[in-house]
Structures are given as structure tokens and as C-alpha cells.
């Protein structure tokens, strides 16, 4: 268990600590709380809804990886079924700052990799930057997404992003979290890690470039974590597939030094490519991590 999580537990009210400590210290804890766990926390702590989520933010922020800023941001998104997904900001030394993952992106992508298709609200310990407001505007249900901050009344996302620019402005109907499989030809891939990356590419959100792409991380104990490319109408807030795979890895409790290998799959002859940035980020994490690369055709 991470020391940061132990420290975060001490920031919770005693009644809530007693409820969550066994869950969080379990080696299989996946940085999520089921609807049943949420209900138990509400009963035992006397906190409900937004009050509970705000109180849990230190647990989310404990997953931050911030070697540059040392400024930890936590975020919690709630799925339609009531599941809570945690997220935190992640930074990488040795590469340009654009490779950084914001806490909101982390929580949203965490929910996406675990099958969520619509989020009702997001709770954050600091006001979301413009980058994250634009990223959230790509979501299925963005128009009804509620943003909750400490000591603030809840507001809809579009109160923070008035006169927004989004997919509809570019004639795009698909939304992040709800893309249908792209029917990519992946059945003949016989390398398991590469197949995991290809399967992620098949679920990616890339309506602007068409570069359906995915990444997969293998850890030293043989676990696989996949990530799908999350493209954005404003282009720059797009989240590369490696970052989404690293989010899944981090939120499962693994550290970068436990990564054995990585795979990247993207479309052949695309107008954009993740290869150079993926390799640069991996080199910054550990130049000895091998990258398996392949392209797909529609």
C-alpha cells in the first residue's frame, strides 16, 4: 500500500476511516467504490452525496505522481450507476509538459477503461483549468455534467465553459465514452500484449484524425492494462493512448518501475502518429522498457 494512501486515510473522519480502511488496504483495491460501498459509507459516516465525495478527495489525490510540481490534485467521477472512480494528476520528468495527465482526465479515463459510458458529476479539489473544461466537453452527457468543488455550490460544466466549442461544431456526433467498436481487423494478431493494444484501438475516440489507436502495458507480474486514444475537438486536450494505459496501471496501484513492456497500435498511413511521443515518454520513464509497435488497417 502506498504511503500516500496511508496518510490520506488519516485525513478522513474516524467513522469513514473505519469503513474504508479495509477496502483501501486490500491489494486488489482498484481505486473505485461500488454503489454498495458508497451506500455503506453514507450510512456509517453520516455523509451523503457531494459531501461524501468531497471528503474522499484526499484518497484520490494520493494517487498523484507529481515529480515536477509536487502539487497533487484529486478528482472523483460518478458513473450513472453510482460507482465512484478516482483520479489524480500524473507528471513525467524529461519530456515536454504536454505529456502531463490532469486529474480530471485521469478520473474520466479510469472510468472509461472500466466500462463507464456516462458520468453524472465530477468532484475536484481545485477548480478545473481550461484544458480540462475542454476535455470534459467531449464527454457523452457533457451538457448535464455537474462540477463540484470544495466550498462551492455545484455548477454545470457549461457554467465553467460558456459558449463552448465542441464536437457538434465540427459536425461530429460521436462522444467520448460511447464510441462503437470500429471493426478494425485484429483477430490475426498473435502477440497478447499487441492484441490488447489493438483491442483498445478498436474502442478509441478519434473522430477528427481517424487515427484509432491503443496502448497496452504489461507489468512484471504479468498484468495487462490497456488504454484508448481520447481525441478532442480542440485537438490539444487530446489524451494519447499510452497515457490512458498508464492511468489504468497507476490506479491499480502499480509503479512505473514495475512496467515490463509496452505495446502501441495505430492506423497505418494516418495524418497523425503517437509513435514518437510514446517512445519519448517511455524513454523518460525507463529507456529499457521495450516498445512493441504495429499498425492496423480499417
Report pLDDT digits (tens) over 224-237: 999 999 999 999 99
Residue from 42, 104, 143, 180 carrying the catalytic annotation: 104
pLDDT of residue 1: 61
Per-residue pLDDT of 40-67, as tens digits, reads 999 999 999 999 999 999 999 999 999 9
pLDDT of residue 279: 98
pLDDT of residue 51: 98
pLDDT of residue 64: 98
- 104 assigned to active site: yes
Which residues does the chain have with pLDDT short of 70? 1
pLDDT of residue 188: 83
The 3-state secondary structure of the chain, one letter per residue: CCHHHHHHHCCCCHHHHHHHHHHHHCCCCCCEECHHHHHHHHHHHCCCHHHHHHHCHHHHHCCCECCCCCCCCEEEEEECCCCEEEEECECCCCCCHHHCECHHHHHHHHHHHCCCCCEEEEEECCCCCHHHHHHHCCECCHHHCEEECCCCCCEEHHHHCCCCCCHHHHCCCCCECCCCCCCCCCCCCCCHHHHHHHHHHCCCECCCCCCCCEEEEEECCCCEEEEECECCCCCCCCECHHHHHHHHHHHCCCCHHHEEEEEEEEECCCCCCCHHHHHHHHHHHCCCCCEEEEEECC
Amino acid at each position: 500500500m502506498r504511503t500516500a494512501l496511508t496518510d490520506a486515510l488519516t485525513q478522513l473522519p474516524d467513522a469513514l476511516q473505519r469503513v474504508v480502511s479495509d477496502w483501501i488496504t486490500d491489494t486488489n483495491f482498484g481505486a473505485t467504490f461500488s454503489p454498495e460501498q458508497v451506500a455503506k459509507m453514507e450510512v456509517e459516516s453520516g455523509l451523503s452525496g457531494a459531501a461524501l465525495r468531497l471528503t474522499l478527495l484526499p484518497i484520490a489525490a494520493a494517487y498523484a505522481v507529481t515529480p515536477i510540481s509536487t502539487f497533487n490534485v484529486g478528482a472523483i467521477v460518478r458513473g450513472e450507476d453510482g460507482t465512484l472512480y478516482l483520479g489524480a494528476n500524473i507528471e513525467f520528468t524529461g519530456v515536454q509538459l504536454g505529456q502531463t495527465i490532469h486529474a480530471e482526465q485521469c478520473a474520466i479515463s479510469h472510468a472509461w477503461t472500466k466500462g463507464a459510458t456516462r458520468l453524472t458529476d465530477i468532484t475536484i479539489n481545485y477548480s478545473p483549468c481550461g484544458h480540462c473544461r475542454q476535455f470534459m466537453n467531449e464527454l457523452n452527457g457533457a451538457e448535464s455534467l455537474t462540477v463540484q468543488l470544495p466550498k462551492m455550490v455545484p455548477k454545470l460544466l457549461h457554467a465553467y465553459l460558456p459558449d463552448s466549442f465542441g464536437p457538434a461544431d465540427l459536425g461530429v456526433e460521436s462522444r467520448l465514452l460511447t464510441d462503437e467498436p470500429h471493426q478494425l481487423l485484429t483477430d490475426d494478431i498473435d502477440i497478447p500484449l499487441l492484441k490488447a493494444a489493438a483491442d483498445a484501438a478498436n474502442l478509441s475516440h478519434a473522430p477528427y484524425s481517424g487515427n484509432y489507436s491503443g496502448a497496452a502495458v504489461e507489468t512484471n507480474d504479468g498484468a495487462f492494462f490497456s488504454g484508448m486514444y481520447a481525441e478532442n475537438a480542440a485537438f490539444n486536450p487530446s489524451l494519447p493512448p499510452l497515457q490512458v494505459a498508464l492511468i489504468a496501471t497507476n490506479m491499480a496501484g502499480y509503479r512505473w518501475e514495475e512496467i515490463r513492456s509496452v505495446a502501441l497500435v495505430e492506423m497505418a498511413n494516418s495524418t497523425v502518429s503517437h509513435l514518437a511521443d510514446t517512445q519519448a515518454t517511455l524513454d523518460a520513464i525507463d529507456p529499457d522498457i521495450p516498445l512493441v509497435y504495429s499498425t492496423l488497417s480499417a
